[in-house]
Amino acid sequence: MSNTARDTQGAPPSLSNQEFAHFQRFIFDAAGITLADSKKMLVTSRLGSRVQHHGYNSFAQYFRLLNSGENPAEVQRAIDLLTTNETYFFREPRHFEFLEKQVAAIPARQNPIRIWSAAGSTGEEAYSIVMLMEDRFPGRPYEILASDISTRVLERAKAGHYPMERARHVPKTYLQRFCLKGTGKLQDTLLVDRSLRAKVSFMQINLNDRLPAIGTFDFVFLRNVLIYFNQQTKREVVARALSVLQPGGWFFIGHSENLNGISEGVKTIAPAIYRKL
């Protein structure tokens, strides 16, 4: 069968257990993510269109393409598809309340407060932080880095254009001040104001690899990503993230996660909030 794309209508081929195992290994090697056996349908739905796009009759053919080293762009696309997760603005509100309290406690200084949204996905977390900083601490210097392994979601994050349903936890005053409401064909969407988008730096970072030179931070958000890693990978990823957190800095993870047996370099302060020793 040639690689020429054929008619992509209809359902993709079925994914055998052996083929699924190949993709489990692929995403573990690429991103350190452990796909549970229950994620077989997710792989079928997310990669099925790529199988069809290339005119393949099986997932095995698509896996061979990824494994050949001949198409790095397709490898990145597959990683993007398997690592993208839906999120929303001001997720886990108590974390933002805590962030506000701790920023207020930092004495005035010339060097900026630095915050890393380390698994930033499509950007809602980073923009939530910007809205908070602009509202509660106008004039204070700060820098926000948002990173993700997926280039595709980073492009969406830079655009700052979202379904309105993701803004259900955004205060109305923030929507009025910091967002533009879509009209016509863009009804039920919002666009983060250009001035806020300019305050976030976006970078592709694979948390399963050595970190690039990104400096040190006062706050690191690594939320709702550890659940996808096995225990050893969790230790390695957390150690990398903590290596760029200032002593006494604050570390946030998801409420369904914990650092028990993962790191001894932090102290628990509140649910899913830690302070670096």
- Nearest-CA neighbor of 75 among 187, 162, 175, 150? 150
Helix/strand/coil for 244? coil
Strand, coil or helix: 250: strand
Q: Distance between CA 131 and CA 141 in Å, rounded?
A: 14
Question: What confidence tens digit (pLDDT) does each residue in 150-173 have?
Answer: 888 999 999 999 999 999 999 999
Q: Is 9 a residue whose pLDDT tops 60?
A: no
Kindly indicate the confidence band of residue 3, based on its pLDDT and cuts at 50, 70 and 90.
Answer: very low
What's the gap between Cα 148 and its chain centre? 5
Burial of 220 (0-12, 13-18, 19+ CB in 10 A): buried
Domains of the chain: 17-83 (1.10.155.10), 93-276 (3.40.50.150)
Question: Active site includes 29?
Answer: no
Which residue in the list 46, 156, 235, 275 is annotated as catalytic? 46
Q: What is the pLDDT of residue 90?
A: 97
- Catalytic annotation on 148? yes
Q: What is the mean pLDDT of the chain?
A: 92
**168-178 burial code (b ≥16 CB/10 A, e <16):** eebeeebbeeb
Q: Which of 50, 148, 166, 218 is catalytic?
A: 148
